[in-house]
Amino acid sequence: MQAHQGVLVTGGAGYIGSHVVKQLGERGERIVVLDNLSTGFRQAVLYGELIEGDTGDTELVRRILKDYQIGAILHFAAHTIVPESVADPLKYYGNNTCKTRNLLQCAAEAGVAHFIFSSTAATYGIPDTAVCAETAPTAPINPYGGSKLMSETMLRDLSAATPLKHVILRYFNVAGSDPEGRIGQSTRNATLLIKVAAEVAVGKRDKLRVFGTDYPTPDGTGVRDYIHVSDLADAHIRALDHLRGGGASATLNCGYGHGYSVREVIDAVNRVHGSPIAVEEQPRRAGDPPQLVAAVNKIHATFAWRPRYDDLDFIVKTSLDWEKKLLTQPWGE
């Protein structure tokens, strides 16, 4: 029965959501995408039916859950720019937290069985250790992380009170684009390092700014755990299979369990691109931890997820390939 129920993907026209929709579609799932297209792209939705609308629209959400017999929700719809969340916190709590509450209420009323939530390592704030386990204290230092942590709490509390089962996936640094080149990271004014570096390489930006070169790391720049978006998408598919198979609710880190410094990323971009990009070194930004790497033993123990693209040069290559494609085939206006 459950295999024939529909899957609702909120934010499925966005960067990560569209990669998940692609993988769901490739295995024949019945998909409905709900996206307000504020940052997503219609042409990113390769499978299923796209409904242009908002997770805050209670009547619309109720109708979708009923009409499409939704058995699982994968919830990506969110604002994700950390500096913007600091400048406009209520925008983030309104969109990321209040609308998630609305979605959860509709899901509970409709008897949706499974809920997979797109969360973030920003819920940890600045961890005490370089490698961060799911048991680390959650202490967000910006409203983006705070808005996601509130949603996690609501989801856990709802699961405790109802039959709803969930998986919360805390992403580390997502990067790269679909290896087949059909979709990619098209976010306007992106802030993620590999995306920005690739934009510099193809001439969309004049230089890459490196914030902080005096961290207590091997080369003085910040170290992060970069995960290819296709591997992250696959983790959502495994999470869905886990829940459908009767698996328990879980909160799991999504990363590779090792990190690269900003300088190592720049070296990879230069190597793959074939010539050096322009770099400008600047002082540290407030709130950037020196190192942030995922402890990944829990996700490996919980379900059969094994990364396929754990290779920095490959991640960079798929990013560069996508930027080159966007030069000739721009998305959106």
Q: Catalytic positions, please? A: 144
Parallel/antiparallel/unpaired status of strands 223-224 and 260-261: antiparallel
d(CA 276, CA 37): 35
List % helix, strand, coil for the chain (3-state, nearest 5).
Answer: 40, 20, 40
How many C-alpha atoms does 298 have within 13 Å on its Cβ side? 17
Three-class SS of residue 171? strand
Parallel/antiparallel/unpaired status of strands 114-120 and 70-75: parallel
Separation of CA 101 from chain center: 19
Residue 256 makes CB contacts below 8 A (sequence gap 6+) with 225, 226, 227, 294, 296, 307, 310
How long, in residues, is the chain? 333
Nearest to 187 by CA among 49, 54, 79, 47: 79
